[in-house]
Amino acid sequence: MDLDVARELFTRAGLPVAEPDRSQIDPLLMLRLRVSNDRDTSQIVLSAALYPVSAYDTPHLDASSTTGDTVGEAVRLSIGLHDFQVRALAGALNIPENAWSDFIDLAHKLYTFHIQHDALHTSCERLALTTSNKWVVLEPRVTIDSNAYARQPAVQAVSGAPTHPEGIAAVIELPGDIACVVNGAGLAMLTIDALARSGNHASAIVDMGSSALMDKLIPALDFAQKLPHTRVVLLNCFSGFTRCVDIANAVIQWKREHLEGLPLVVRFAGYDGDEGRSLIHKAGVIGLYDAREIEEAARRAVYTARMAAHPASSSDSKDSYGDLH
Amino acid sequence: MAIFIDKSTRVLVQGMTGREGRSYTEQMIAYGTHVVGGVTPNKGGEWGVRGRPVFDTVRSAVNATEANASVIAVAASNAVDAIYEAIDANIPLIVCITEGIPMLDMMRLHEYLPRTNSRLIGANCPGVLSPGECSLGIIPGYVAMHGTTGIVSRSSSLLYEVAYTLSARGIGQSTLVGVGGDPVIGTSFVEVLQEFEDDPDTERVILIGEIGGHMEIEAAAYVKAHMTKPVYALIVGSSAPYYIRMGHAGALIEQDDETAAAKVAVLRDAGIRTADSLPDFYALFLAQLPTEK
């Protein structure tokens, strides 16, 4: 979530956010104060680390910018954050005692913000204690749980809901050439791993999710074909309940209507997978290729992408795809 | 025998009258699962899929049917309420198929579950299937065949993929468990491994993991310390970048020990034969089988 949105949400929650022009601030202390969800323990973690005061104007801070260790306190959701935990952080960070009271108040506000907004991470990446003993958030950050958007109207009002093409479960943009249309996250990872082993990378994962495959197939292919930086579309499905024959017929018809579009490599498994693949194979549609295994589909897609990028060099490529028909 | 479920399991479907609920119930009944009723608030007294009675509440359904398992097939906005209702009715085994439950809700549930009489599998999971006995959830029955290999997976699509391939080669399974792809889930790899270790009909276990979190690392420690049965692992996501959620809410690398390479190394160190691609996985799994049969 971008800085302006985070700043707006923090301000509405009463957190002391600095104006973008921070020339008036004279920091005595600089630190990072974060609230995050620990997936291993199902507890909330409040953590903090000091930066040197000179980090005030450093453009990019990371873990190596801190001075000393990160200190943290685990908070049970059923119990909530207690003052003693914040005092423990304040003591560990050598925060002057006359600033503790406001620090405790700020930590509680940050924790409450995190819970009330269904956040995954909430942080004051740069939190300054000024020489006039005021706490000021210079760099607010928040990541909201997308599963909770529906019950976060305040977040939606500020940032807008995340958008996916209709019917598509998830779109993940990546830096390669090949758009992977899949049904399931595990299959998606298996597919991009196979592409990487074959020497290329996905430009995106378009995940149709695990249900109602036939409703999502054509919108997903339409979407994948228009993705930027994409040379080939690779469709990899394990179909649990939809016959691959039906998927194949829909794919063949779609490809015949999009002969000028990107090449499409198809790999099926599951319900009538072999029959579906056979239909694709026999269809003889230009730019439509079938594969039996994921690795084979990946090699085919990588080769086809290379041909699309450098048509003249493909014939003498040492690792060209061996069994094009 | 199998783990978690068998022919005696009596199943409720919470959300039976919805579109997904109807479809899941049809599939479970077709597989031979003993579905005894459904729960949909305000539809109590109606007849659901294939004549199964529908109740307004889980308590009344349990009283009438003696159900001992529940499949949750309701929208994400109602799923947490449905899980708490099943826990309240002392249902021992709850499988939540629904995806999209907020993480904080799952964390609260996770904190509460040890104080209850219930086990939750999922959410965002395909469920559990013991071939020839019972199916709780949406695992397609034809991918599995009865045998002695237990499979546990975070990913549903990979669970199907691996089970289907093994079945085609005549290697059957004792139970298939999809634990779910969210960062916080009801039942971990370790808990499923414990069950497989204790199950006399399971001779070996396949663990299908991925990037993100530390469940595979915990599983490695458990296997090294406690398991007598051979365990094989497939870890996907070796090419996934840091800080990008790879479809599953839980498939996110934020720390170095959450990468596929780190997990493969730890699993191998624990003596688990581990691959990061399907061809390598099948090669190492099938190569071992003759000597173990």
Task: Tell me the mean pLDDT in the region A276-281.
Answer: 95
| Distance (Å) from the alpha carbon of A252 to chain B's nearest alpha carbon | 24
pLDDT, greater one: A169 or B33: B33
- Indicate the residue of A76, A192, A241 with minimum beta-carbon distance to B239: A192
With beta carbons less than 8 A apart as the criterion, state whether B72 and B16 touch: no
Q: Which residues of B touch A144 (CB under 8 A)?
A: none
Residue B248: predicted pLDDT = 79
With beta carbons less than 8 A apart as the criterion, state whether B229 and B196 touch: yes
Contact across the interface for B181 and A185, Cβ inside 8 Å: yes
Residue A61, pLDDT > 80, answer no
Residue B49, pLDDT > 50, answer yes
- Indicate the residue of A39, A184, A238 with minimum beta-carbon distance to B213: A39
* Strands A43-51, A27-38: pairing kind: antiparallel
Contact across the interface for B77 and A43, Cβ inside 8 Å: no
Tens digit of pLDDT for each residue in A71-88? Answer: 999 999 999 999 999 999
Residue B51, pLDDT > 60, answer yes
- Indicate the residue of B106, B213, B277 with minimum beta-carbon distance to A193: B277
Q: Which residues of A touch B236 (CB under 8 A)?
A: 186, 189-190, 193
User: In which band, very low, low, confident or very high, does the pLDDT at A317 lie, cut at 50, 70 and 90?
Assistant: very low
Question: Average pLDDT over chain B, rounded to whole?
Answer: 95
Minimum CA–CA partner of B141 in chain A: A240
Task: Tell me the mean pLDDT in the region B33-48.
Answer: 96
For residue B157, give the nearest of A49, A320, A213 by alpha carbon. A213
- Helix (H) or strand (E) holding B96, with range, is strand B93-96
- Indicate the residue of A115, A170, A188 with minimum beta-carbon distance to B104: A115
Q: Which residues of B touch A169 (CB under 8 A)?
A: 247
Contact across the interface for A186 and B76, Cβ inside 8 Å: no
Tens digit of pLDDT for each residue in B207-239? Answer: 999 999 999 999 999 999 999 999 999 999 999
Interface check for B275 against chain A (CB to CB < 8 A): the answer is no
With beta carbons less than 8 A apart as the criterion, state whether B176 and B159 touch: yes
Contact across the interface for B155 and A187, Cβ inside 8 Å: yes
User: In which band, very low, low, confident or very high, does the pLDDT at A66 lie, cut at 50, 70 and 90?
Assistant: confident
Across the strands, what pairs with B275? B234
Q: Which residues of B touch A196 (CB under 8 A)?
A: 238-239
Tens digit of pLDDT for each residue in A154-191? Answer: 888 887 665 666 667 788 989 899 999 999 999 999 99
B248 is catalytic: yes
Q: Which residues, numbered 159 to 198 in chain B, qualify as contacts with chain A under a Cβ-Cβ cut-off of 8 Å?
A: 159-161, 164-165, 181, 183-184
Tens digit of pLDDT for each residue in A97-134? Answer: 999 999 999 999 999 999 999 999 999 999 999 988 99
Residue A166: predicted pLDDT = 64
Quick one: B23 exposed, middle or buried, by C-beta within 10 A (0-12, 13-18, 19+)? middle
Residue A1: predicted pLDDT = 67
Contact across the interface for B247 and A170, Cβ inside 8 Å: yes
User: In which band, very low, low, confident or very high, does the pLDDT at B17 lie, cut at 50, 70 and 90?
Assistant: very high
Residue reference for tokens 């997976």: B153
Minimum CA–CA partner of A236 in chain B: B157
CA–CA separation, A216 and A206 (whole Å): 10
- Please tell me what DSSP assigns to residue B241: P
Contact across the interface for B247 and A189, Cβ inside 8 Å: yes
Query: What are the tokens at B242?
Result: 């840091």
pTM above 0.90, yes or no: yes
- Helix (H) or strand (E) holding B130, with range, is strand B127-130
* Residue A21 φ/ψ, nearest 5 degrees: -85, 100
Contact across the interface for A207 and B247, Cβ inside 8 Å: yes
CA–CA separation, B84 and B248 (whole Å): 24
Contact across the interface for B240 and A192, Cβ inside 8 Å: yes
Residue B291: predicted pLDDT = 44
Helix, strand, or coil (residue B265): helix
Q: Which residues of B touch A236 (CB under 8 A)?
A: none
| Distance (Å) from the alpha carbon of A122 to chain B's nearest alpha carbon | 13
User: At B101, which amino acid appears?
Assistant: I
Residue A320: predicted pLDDT = 45
Q: Before B86, cis peptide (omega within 30)?
A: no
Angle between helices B156-168 and B278-292 (to 10 degrees): 50
User: In which band, very low, low, confident or very high, does the pLDDT at A58 lie, cut at 50, 70 and 90?
Assistant: confident
Helix, strand, or coil (residue A127): strand
CA–CA separation, B97 and B180 (whole Å): 8
Minimum CA–CA partner of B100 in chain A: A147
ipTM of the complex, rounded to two decimals: 0.91
Contact across the interface for A241 and B279, Cβ inside 8 Å: no
Question: Average pLDDT over chain A, rounded to whole?
Answer: 89
Residue B288: predicted pLDDT = 75
| Distance (Å) from the alpha carbon of B217 to chain A's nearest alpha carbon | 11
Contact across the interface for A174 and B20, Cβ inside 8 Å: no
Tens digit of pLDDT for each residue in A255-272? Answer: 999 999 999 999 999 999
| List of E strands, chain A | 27-38, 43-51, 67-75, 119-130, 135-144, 170-173, 178-182, 202-207, 232-239, 264-270, 288-291
Interface check for B210 against chain A (CB to CB < 8 A): the answer is yes
Query: What are the tokens at A57?
Result: 């104007």
User: At B230, which amino acid appears?
Assistant: P
Q: Which residues of A touch B112 (CB under 8 A)?
A: 78
Interface check for B101 against chain A (CB to CB < 8 A): the answer is yes
For B111-142, b/e burial (b = at least 16 CB within 10 A) is bbbeebebbbbbbbbbbbbbbbbbbbbbbbbe
Across the strands, what pairs with A180? A205, A234
